[in-house]
Structure formats: C-alpha cells, structure tokens
Structure 1
Amino acid sequence: MIELQQVNKTYSYKKANAVHALVDVSLRINEGELTAIVGKSGSGKSTLLNVLGCMDTFETGTYLFDGKDITHASGKQLATIRNQDIGFVVQDFALIADDTALQNVMLPFYFSRRTSLREAKVQAMHALQQLGMDSMAQKPVNKLSGGQKQRVAIARAIVHQPRLILADEPTGALDSRTAEEIMGVFQELHQNGSTVIIVTHDPGIAQQCSRIIEIQDGKIAGA
C-alpha cells in the first residue's frame, strides 16, 4: 500500500545545526497490516510516521502511495490524501476540550465540502458507536476520562473511513488497563481491514502487532 525508497529527511537542512532524522529509509507496508514502529526517543520514529502521513516533506528519495508516486505532490494534493485516505491518532488526543465528543468527531468533515452537515452527524455518530462512545456524544470532552478521550480521537480518525490509520504513542498517556483496551480497538480495526501503523515505546504494545519495524538513529534496524 505504501512504500518508501531511500528517503532522507533533515531538519534545518543545509544549516550548521542540521539533524539527519531519516537516513536512506526504505520500507514497504502492505494493505491490511498491523505494524509497530519502535525505537528510542529521538530515533526518528515520529518523523517517519509524519512522512508516511504526508505531514512532513523530505529532501531525497521516493514515496509511493497506493502505487502512485507522490514524492513531488503539491500541498493541496497531499492535503487531499490526508483528508480522504489517512486517519491520525496522537498521544495527547488533540481534541477541542470545550466541544462535545460529537463535534470533535465531525471535525474532519469541515475540511471537505462533499458531505452535508446532516450526513456528517450521522457518520460521526456511527463512528462513536463503533468505539462504544455514542452515549457520550453530547458530553464535552473535558469531562471525559483519558481512555474515553482516546476513543473519541480514534472515532475522529476513522469517521471518513480511511484506508490507513497512523497512531503516534496512542497509549502513552494511559494507564496499563486502558492501554490494553485501546490496543484492542486497533486490533479490531485491523481485523476489519484497516492498515494500522503504531509508533510506540512500549514493547508490550509492539508485540501485539503482526510486524515490528525498529528504527535507530534514523535508520531502519529491523523490519
């Protein structure tokens, strides 16, 4: 489904304080895989996820998405891919605290004119129901527990039925019991056909994935 070929990413490119975050990274992830990306802090795993999610650019190399070369895609084209094909989940939930769970899940539709407000509400409620959060739809997210907030964040990520779900330390802010529940959600999404990539520092979470990619100093050390 996605493939990187000899990708290099440098922060502060061509400056004295340049940091080579990704070094000749080549990898392929097939559709339907549940993959963990592991590595120490600063190893480049989050940078790799951002490149895969079309959130970050790179200097050299090639990125194939669904067989199409998007290396030189415009910002508008990348935004379309993100909005239509990719769902994001992050450690700190990135929710609008004073808005309800339903309003947060509807957020992706605000960037698309293809869906009416009525249909957006229907799809958002369906996503919340999938995550067992439909009863909390009208509750402000600042009144929810950490696990509930992450379920809302996942509902937002899947509301537009993306083919690829990217999660950056999705259990990092949760207690172990809640983390296991959230990992169960990702496994269920995987079983239903989604391609899921999880960045994690937790070996226990990584071991529950069908594939583990290790990154060290910006290089793929094992896959």
Structure 2
Amino acid sequence: MDCSGPELNDAGGPEDPAVTPLPYDQPLFLVGMMGAGKTTIGRSLARILNREFVDLDHELEARCGVRVSLIFDIEGEEGFRKRETTLLDECSRRRGIVLATGGGAILAPENRRYLKERGVVVYLRASADELFRRVARDRNRPLLQTADPKSRIHALLAEREPLYKEVASLTFDTGSMAVAQVVRCLIPLLQRHEVNS
C-alpha cells in the first residue's frame, strides 16, 4: 500500500525531522483489541504529530504501583474496569494527546461516551488470527490465561467489534503492515478528518 505522508525510517521516525501537526488539538484515542498495535503505533504517531503519548494501562499501573494482571487478580475484572473508567474520564479531557486505551475500555457505556464526545477515535482493526499471532506468547494478558487463548480472542473480538465500530471516527485495518507504514497511512486520514470544536 502506498500512502502519502512523511517518509519514515525503519525505526518509525521521520527521515525529515519536521513534525506534522494536525489542524486540531482534540485528543486522538486509539481503540482496538489487545495486539492491535495501539501502544506501538500510538508512540510513533505521537512523535510525528508532536503530541504527548499516554497508554491508559501503563498510566493505571504507574498510579496503582502494580501490573494490570495483579489488579485483575486482586480486584477482578469489575474492580479493574472501575479504575479504568475513572482514569479514562480524567485523561480524555486532555487536549493534544494520543491516548492508547485498553482493549476492553469500550465495554462501559460511559467510556464510549467519553471517547465519542471528547476526541477523534481511531479503531485499529486486525483479524482474530493476526491478533493471536501477535499476543500468543505474552503472559501479561489476564484475559488470555485460559486453556484455549485463540478461541478466547475470537470470542472477545466478536463481542467487542460492534462497540469499536460504534465509537470510531476512523477505522484502519493494520493487517501485517509495519508500524511505520501504518503511521504513514494514518497521518493524511487524520489531517483530512473534520472535527467538531
């Protein structure tokens, strides 16, 4: 796929150090399943757009002082989701950021409302098989600690995809593209996107 936009080197950085700011300062929210590339793509995107990058799960870990998997162990998914909603409410009010959400952040209706009302939402979409390939060896995914993680990914994607689509301003299929290529394709789409002030 050939996309216009800044040329990127293999590390994801621009060949030309000039940044490409967007014509609006509303936050960019990245949603999608675990393994969709929200954190990796988000970091690269933020660098080129000259924006701060925030990963909601990492922010939660920094504030709680423990890993997401331990929060799940101690408080269960319900306790984790409550913390996630409180933090998303706070972070989604910040202008000029790129925010990578957790894969299940769209489950709560209030979270979907925050995302839709406060910024531009990019749904990074990938097939269940591609997602499994990316996360199969990751032991820090509490929802995949099951006898059949591949089936679990298929079930989660079936449940969540309508919600990702509901909140998305833009949907982008990442497929097996390199991060630099995804970012190069996304920038012009974001540049052209019309936002409500």
TM-score range, shorter chain: 0.3 to 0.5
TM-score, with normalisation over the residues of structure 2? Answer: 0.38
Quick check: which one's strand share is greater? 1
Question: What is the TM-score with the length of structure 1 in the denominator?
Answer: 0.35
